[in-house]
Amino acid sequence: MSALTIDGSTRLYGIVGDPISQVKTPQLMNAYFQQQGINAVCVPLQVATATFEASLRGIMALGNIAGLVITVPHKIRACALADALSAQARQVGAVNVLRRDAQGAWFGDMFDGAGLVAGLRDNGFTLKGQHVKQLGAGGSGAAVAFALLAAGAASLTLYDPNGEAAQALAARINAQYPQRPARVSTVPAELQGINLLINCSPIGMKPDDGLPAPFADFDPALQVVDIIMQPPETPLIAHARRAGCRATNGRPMIEGQLTAFLRFFDLYAEASPCRH
C-alpha cells in the first residue's frame, strides 16, 4: 500500500456540509486512494447555509477541484449549481455528488437512497413488503423514500415539521407509485401498522436533541434506521436497541454509496473495491 502524499498534481475532492465534523466519507475515500495509489485527497469543507451559493461557486471555480460530495443541509440547494442532473437527481430534487467534466461543466447525481437500500440489505434488513414510517422530507429523505418504494416497500408514511415539504414529496411519490401511496402524518410518534422506522431528519445529531419524536416503547419486531452518522448511537438507536429491535445508524448508507461515488468520479478499480 503506497503512502498518501499531496503535491501540486493532487486531485481534490471535497465534502460540503454544515456541520461537517460528523462525516465519514473522507476516511473511506482517502483509505481507498492510499490503497490504490491514486494521487487524490478528500477533505471536509464547512460551508455555512447563509453563504452556501457564494462559497460553492468559489470552490467549484478552483482548477484542481475534481468533484464534491454534498451533505446536510445543502443537497437541495446544490441542484441549482449543476449544469446538468441525472434522472435520479431530477426525480428527487437534490444531489449529493457533483463532478466537473473536461469542458468545465458540472454534473450532479444522488445516491443516498440507493446507497441506504444496498447497505440495509447487506446488513440483513427486510425492505420488500414493509410498511415504512419516515421522519424527514428533505433532500436525503426524498432520495430514501423513492429508493424504498423502488425496493418494494408496501407503503410509506411521511412526517416532517415542514408540512408543505412532506405534502410535496408525497405528491411526487404518488404520481410515480399510485398503487403504493405515500401519505403524510401529523403525528410523528404514531407507529401503528409500521414495520420499518427511518429517521432522515437531523434530530439526534446534537448532544441535547433527544428522540426525534416522543416514542413509547418499540415492538421488538420493528426495524429502526437513523441515517445520522455522528454520534454512532443516537438517542433513537439507543431506544430501539433497548427494545430489542434490529437497528442501525447511517454507516450502511455511506458504505453502500462508496462504490457508486468512486464510479461517478471515475476512480473505481474493479479488482479492489474498498469497504471498511
Catalytic residues: 75
Cell numbers 469543507 correspond to 45
Cell numbers 479492489 correspond to 272
Cell numbers 434530530 correspond to 203
Whether the CB-CB separation of 261 and 239 falls below 8 Å is answered with no
Interatomic CA distance for residues 115 and 99, integer angstroms: 18
Residue 99: partners with Cβ closer than 8 Å, 6 or more residues away: 66, 67, 68, 106, 107, 264, 265
Whether the CB-CB separation of 152 and 103 falls below 8 Å is answered with no
How are beta strands 196-199 and 131-135 bridged, if at all?
Answer: parallel
Interatomic CA distance for residues 46 and 273, integer angstroms: 28
DSSP symbol at 154: S
Neighbouring CB atoms inside 10 A of 23's CB total 21
The H or E element that residue 150 is part of is helix 139-150
Interatomic CA distance for residues 188 and 191, integer angstroms: 8
Residue 157 dihedral angles phi and psi, to the nearest 5°: -115, 125
DSSP string, 233-267: S-HHHHHHHHTT-EEE-SHHHHHHHHHHHHHHTT-
